[in-house]
Amino acid sequence: MVRSMRALLPLALLFGTSDLVAGGEPMPRVTTDSREYCVELVHRLVVLPGAQDEVVRRMAEDGMRLCDTGHPRTGVAKLRRAIRAAQAQP
């Protein structure tokens, strides 16, 4: 499972995602500490300009590993830190 999530990150970086549904309305976001929320955070991360940074990618991989091994709360925290770091990149 961890291997498949590691494969998701580069693919998601390549293709990106949109946070808008038809009509320009924002998509609702899951707010629970679950594996699904971890995946949602990865999708948010990959569209950020700093997502390619090695430190950010490593944090994201660690976060997904934690989510995949039954530690979603810690994984979510790590993914949120990766998002903040990616947002801070020029």
Residue pair 33/66 in contact by the 8 Å Cβ criterion: no
Residue 8 has pLDDT above 50, yes or no: yes
Residues 4 and 8: their CA atoms lie apart, in Å, by 6
Residue 85 has pLDDT above 80, yes or no: yes
Band of residue 13 on the pLDDT scale cut at 50, 70, 90:
very low
| Residue (of 59, 66, 49, 52) closest to 82 by Cα position | 59
Residues 67 and 28: their CA atoms lie apart, in Å, by 21
